[in-house]
C-alpha cells in the first residue's frame, strides 16, 4: 500500500536524496547548491506549495530537477533579496549616497 502525504511531511526522510542532488549539482559546477535551496526550489516551482504525493513521487521530483530550473529559482531569489534589502535600506534611511 502506498500512502499519500504532504511533501513537507516527507522531508525528514529525504535528506540523503537531497544530498545526492546537491552532489550532482556540484559535479556540474553549481558549488553553492544546498539541500534547503533544492527543497525550496521544488516547493515553489514544481510542487507549488505542499501537495499530497507518494514518497516515490517526491524522490522522482528531486532526481528530475533540472539545473536550469534550479538556476532560474536562485536568480529570482537573488533579485527578491536585493529588492528587499533596497526597500529596507530606504525605510531605514540607509540609502547609498554617491
Is there a contact between 19 and 34 (Cβ–Cβ < 8 Å)? no
Position 96 pLDDT exceeds 70: no
In our burial notation (b when 16+ CB lie closer than 10 A, e otherwise), range 65-85 reads: beeeebeebbeeeeeeeeeee
Whether pLDDT at 79 is above 60: yes
User: Tens digit of pLDDT for each residue in 42-69?
Assistant: 999 999 989 999 999 999 999 999 999 9
Which residue is associated with the grid cell 534550479? 70
Segments making up each domain of the chain, as ranges: 4-92
Indicate the pTM of the whole model: 0.79
> What are the φ/ψ torsions at residue 81 (nearest 5 degrees)?
-65, -40
Amino acid at each position: 500500500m502506498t500512502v499519500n502525504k504532504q511533501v513537507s511531511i516527507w522531508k525528514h526522510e529525504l535528506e540523503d536524496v537531497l544530498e545526492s542532488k546537491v552532489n550532482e549539482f556540484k559535479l556540474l559546477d553549481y558549488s553553492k547548491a544546498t539541500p534547503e535551496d533544492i527543497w525550496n526550489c521544488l516547493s515553489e516551482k514544481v510542487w507549488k506549495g505542499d501537495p499530497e504525493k507518494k514518497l516515490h513521487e517526491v524522490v522522482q521530483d528531486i532526481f528530475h530537477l533540472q539545473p536550469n530550473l534550479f538556476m532560474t529559482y536562485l536568480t529570482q531569489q537573488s533579485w527578491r533579496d536585493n529588492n528587499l534589502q533596497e526597500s529596507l535600506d530606504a525605510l531605514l534611511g540607509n540609502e547609498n549616497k554617491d
